[in-house]
Structure 1
Amino acid sequence: MIILTRLAGSRFAVNPDLLERVESTPDTVLTLLDGTKYVVAEPVEDVVARVTDYRATVIATARRLAEQQELASASPESASAAWPDDVTPQLAPAVPLRRRRRS
């Protein structure tokens, strides 16, 4: 998530994976995949930089986790310490995206 500021001054977080378009008209307008639009105080260049930083962080984290898994598989005693026997990790169900209906 990236943190942005509305024109009124309140801050909110947006998932950059849901961004379809960022425009300057002259205010910066974010358009999400479902058609939702947000007007933010940050210039387009700052929004793009934040999205780039977010994606770089995701890639770096994925690489670090892969390296940890490789180390854990190399030493079986450390792999068993990742999850206790009585804990089973579960993922939340996926939520489908739907376009907003315009009235």
Structure 2
Amino acid sequence: MIGLTRRTGEFCHLDPDHIERVEGGHDTVVVTTDGDTYCVRETVDQVIRRIVEDRAGVIAACYVLDRGEDPDPRHLRAFDPLTRVPDPASVVPLRPA
């Protein structure tokens, strides 16, 4: 979930998988797959950055679980993907080259 601020100042969370598009202009409008629209204070670039960070966190959490580094997934709520970036030399390819 990504946190965004509505134009009214109210804070809301949106599931980035349900975001269809983000429109810029005078206002930034987030349109979801079910047709709901949210007018937010963040810029288009800020919304996109939050979506990218959310997805990177999910991928990094899956990596940690797959490697067996954290057997209890409840600890992943406070996971910061930027603090535990895997060493490229330690990554095992899915298929042999």
The answer to whether the superposition gives a TM-score over 0.5 is: yes
**RMSD of Structure 2 on Structure 1 (CA):** 1.9
Partner Cα separation in structure 1 for residue 54 and residue 34 of structure 2: 21
Residue pairs, 1:49-68, within 5 angstroms: 49-68=49-68
Residue pairs, 1:11-90, within 5 angstroms: 11-68=11-68
Question: Identity across aligned pairs (percent)?
Answer: 40
Task: Give per-residue Cα distances to partners, 1:72-100, cap 9 Å, x unaligned.
Answer: 8xxxxxxxxx7xxxxxxxxxxxxxxxxxx
Q: Which runs of 5+ in 2 are unaligned?
A: 73-97
Q: Which residue of 1 aligns with 2:91?
A: none
Residue 28 of structure 1, CA deviation: 0.4
Residue 15 of structure 1, CA deviation: 0.3
Partner Cα separation in structure 1 for residue 12 and residue 62 of structure 2: 25
Residue 25 of structure 1, CA deviation: 2.9
Q: Which residue of 2 aligns with 1:9?
A: 9
Q: Which amino acid aligns with 2:67?
A: E
Partner Cα separation in structure 1 for residue 15 and residue 3 of structure 2: 9
Q: Which amino acid aligns with 1:13?
A: H
The runs of at least 4 aligned residues of structure 1 exceeding 6 Å deviation read: none
Q: Which has the higher contact order (CA 8 A, sep 6+)?
A: 1
Partner Cα separation in structure 2 for residue 58 and residue 37 of structure 1: 25
